Structure 1
Amino acid sequence: MQQSKLHSTKDNLQVLFEDNHLIVVNKRPGDIVQGDKTGDAPLSEVVKEYIAEKYNKPGAVFLGVVHRLDRPTSGIVVFARTSKALARLNKMFSERETEKIYWAIVKNTPPNTEDTLKHYLKRNPKQNKSFAHIKEVPDSKKAVLHYKILKKLDNYYLLEVILETGRHHQIRSQLSAIGCPIKGDLKYGFDRSNADGSIHLHAKKLSLVHPVQKEEITIEAPTPDDAVWNACN
C-alpha cells in the first residue's frame, strides 16, 4: 500500500529542530504519534531509535509526547527529551501559550475571504468524530479558529488556519460545518479519499518560548511532496 512508504523510520526522519531538551519533527501522513490499538510503530518510537543511534545511548531513551496530530495529517510534532522540558511544554500547550498555524486545502469556496469560526463541538467516541453545533449542547466544548484564504488553486483553495482552542478534530469539523471539508477527508464530508489515505491538513508553523533557554523559537515544516501541496508553495 502506498501509505506504508510514507511512514517515518530513524533513517528518513524529518528533524526540524533538536537540542538537549526537545526535538521537533515533520510528521508524515500515516504516522501515528503515540502507540494505539493498531499496534503500528508510533512516531515516538522512531524518534527514540533516532536519538539512541545518533547519540550512542545504550539504555532506554527518555522521550515525552507533548501533543498529537491526527494520523492522516502531516506537520510539526514536538517531543521533550527531558522531564523538565516535558513539564514546561505540557503547561505551555495546555495554557495555549504557543501559536500554531495550519494549512488546509478545501475544494468549495469558503463563505468569506477570512473569518473567525465559533462552534460547540461534541465528540462521539464510537465514531471517533466531533460534531459542530452553532449553539451549546450538552457535553460540548467551545471551539474557535481563524481562517483566511492564502491562495486560489486550479480546483482548490489553500487556507491558513490559526487555532484559538484545541479540540478533537477541530479544524476538520469546523471547516466541514461551513461546507468546506478538507481534501481527502471522507469522515468529514469530502467526496473521495486521497490515494495514500492522507488528508490535506498540515501543521505548518509553530512559535513557542523554549522551555529551558526561554528564547522564542519559530519552526516551519515543509508540506508533503504531492502535486496539490506543491502548487501551494
Structure 2
Amino acid sequence: MQEDKNNNSETENDDLYEHYRFVATEGQEPLRVDKFLMNFIENATRNKIQQAAKAGNVLVNELAVKPNYKVKPKDVVRVVLSYPPHENLLVAEDIPLNIVFEDDEVIVVNKPPGMVVHPGHGNYSGTLVNGLIHHIENLPNNSSERPGLVHRIDKDTSGLLVVAKTEYAMAHLSKQFFDRTTERLYYALVWGDIADDEGTITGNIGRSFTDKLQMTVFPEGDYGKHAVTHFKVIERFNYVTLVQCKLETGRTHQIRAHFKYIGHTLFNDERYGGDRILKGTTFSKYKQFVDNCFKVLPRQALHAKTLGFTHPKTGEFLQFNSELPQDILNCLEKWRRYAASSTTETLEED
C-alpha cells in the first residue's frame, strides 16, 4: 500500500480538496472501500467513512463510489472534502467589499462575479473571506478557512451573502438555513423557451458518478440530497428565458443542476454545457450573435438577487435586494433587441 497524505488535489473542483490518497497494491484482495479505508486512516470510523462515500467524497479512479464498492489491485482511492487540509490559510487583505448592511451581529455583502467566497485549492488569496477578516476582527469560526460563513455562492455567481460577526449570530443563522426559514431568490438566464410560466423542480442532487466536477439529479432518490427549486418566468426571448428561482433547499450547484435536468441549462454555464448553442437556429448570423453574448457575459447567468433572514438579536425579518450586475444586464439587452428584431422580421414576412 502506498499512501500520499494531505496533498493538494489536482482537480479544478472549487468544492473538493484531497485529504488522503491510497493506491491499492497488486496483491489487493477485493475489499469494501469503507473497510479498506478504515485500515489506513487513523481514528476513522466506518460510519464516518460510509457517510463520506454517500456524500460523494470517496473517489476511486476519479469516480465517486458507494461504501460497498470493492477495491481492486492498483485502484487509486481518494478522500476529498469541502475544506482544504492546510492550516493557516487565512491572510487579511484590504479588498473592497460591497457592503449592503452591517451592524454588531451580521454583515450583508453583494459579491461580484469572479470572486471566490473562501480560500481553497488554487485560490488562497483575494477571496471574500480574506477581505472580511481585514474588515472585521475575530470573526467566529465554523472551520479553519470559513470564518463567519453560514452559506456561500459559486465563484462566478454574483449576489447577496450574509456573514455572522458573532458566535451567537452564527448559530442563529445556521439554524435558519437548516430550518429553511431564510428567503433566497435568484435570477437566471436559461437556454430554451420554458413551457410553463411557473413550476417546481424536485430531485435529489449528488455528485455525478461520471464527472466529478458536476452535480447531477437522481430522481429516484437513491443517492444525493433532497432538493427543491421553485421558478417563475420573468421574460422570454424565444431561445432563452429569464427566470426567478426560489430555493427551498440549498444544495451545491442546485439551480445549475436542476435546470440542466429539465433541459434548460444556464446560459454560458461552462461546467454544465451551457457555453454551447443549445437552442436556436443554424444561421451563422445567429451563431455570431450568441458568441457576442458569451463575450458580454463570460460566466453562468446567475445572480443571488434577494436575501431574507431573521435578525439574530432583534428578531426582525430583514430582506435585501440587489440590482442585476452590468454583465447580465448587457446580455439581457442584447437578447431583448434580438427577440424584437426577429419578431419584426417575422411580421414583415407575413
Q: Secondary structure at the match of 2:232?
A: strand
Q: Distance in 1 between matches of 2:134 and 2:238?
A: 41
Q: Aligned residue for 1:110? A: 194
1:48 aligns with 2:133: yes
Greater shift, 191-200 or 87-96, is seen at 191-200
1:131 aligns with 2:216: yes
- 1:147 corresponds, among 215, 231, 237, to 231
With over 3 angstroms needed to count, the CA separation of the structure-2 counterparts of 1:86 and 1:230, relative to structure 1, is: farther
Percent sequence identity is 33
With over 3 angstroms needed to count, the CA separation of the structure-2 counterparts of 1:19 and 1:153, relative to structure 1, is: farther
- 2:101 corresponds, among 2, 17, 23, to 17
Q: Secondary structure at the match of 1:173?
A: helix
Q: Aligned residue for 2:307? A: 206
1:61 aligns with 2:138: yes
Matched residue type, 2:317: E
Q: Which has the higher contact order (CA 8 A, sep 6+)?
A: 1
Residue 94 of structure 1: CA displacement? 1.4
Decide whether the 8 Å contact of 1:205 with 1:221 is kept in 2.
yes
Decide whether the 8 Å contact of 1:30 with 1:197 is kept in 2.
no
Decide whether the 8 Å contact of 1:149 with 1:158 is kept in 2.
yes
Residue 12 of structure 1: CA displacement? 3.6
Decide whether the 8 Å contact of 1:153 with 1:231 is kept in 2.
no
- 1:169 corresponds, among 240, 248, 253, to 253
Structure 1 or 2: larger strand share? 1
Q: TM-score under structure 1 normalisation?
A: 0.84
Q: Secondary structure at the match of 1:142?
A: coil
Matched residue type, 1:201: L
- 1:160 corresponds, among 226, 244, 254, to 244
Decide whether the 8 Å contact of 1:72 with 1:197 is kept in 2.
no
Structure 1 or 2: larger helix share? 2
Larger Rg: 2
With over 3 angstroms needed to count, the CA separation of the structure-2 counterparts of 1:146 and 1:83, relative to structure 1, is: same
Residue 48 of structure 1: CA displacement? 2.4
Q: Secondary structure at the match of 1:214?
A: coil
Q: Secondary structure at the match of 1:141?
A: coil
Q: Distance in 1 between matches of 2:94 and 2:192?
A: 38
Q: Distance in 1 between matches of 2:326 and 2:212?
A: 30
Residue 61 of structure 1: CA displacement? 3.4
CA RMSD of aligned residues (A): 2.3
Q: Secondary structure at the match of 1:72?
A: coil
Residue 111 of structure 1: CA displacement? 3.0
With over 3 angstroms needed to count, the CA separation of the structure-2 counterparts of 1:50 and 1:222, relative to structure 1, is: farther
Q: Deviations over 1:47-81 (max 9, x none)?
A: 22234xxxxxxxx4325111110111010111111
Residue 156 of structure 1: CA displacement? 2.9
Decide whether the 8 Å contact of 2:213 with 2:271 is kept in 1.
no
Decide whether the 8 Å contact of 1:223 with 1:229 is kept in 2.
no
Greater shift, 116-125 or 202-211, is seen at 116-125
Q: Aligned residue for 2:27? A: none
- 1:26 corresponds, among 70, 86, 110, to 110
1:35 aligns with 2:119: yes
Decide whether the 8 Å contact of 2:106 with 2:162 is kept in 1.
yes
1:228 aligns with 2:313: no
Q: Aligned residue for 1:82? A: 166
Q: Superposition pairs for residues 189-200 of structure 1, below 5 Å? A: 189-192=273-276, 194-195=294-295, 197-200=298-301
Matched residue type, 1:190: G
Q: Secondary structure at the match of 1:161?
A: strand
Q: Secondary structure at the match of 2:120?
A: coil
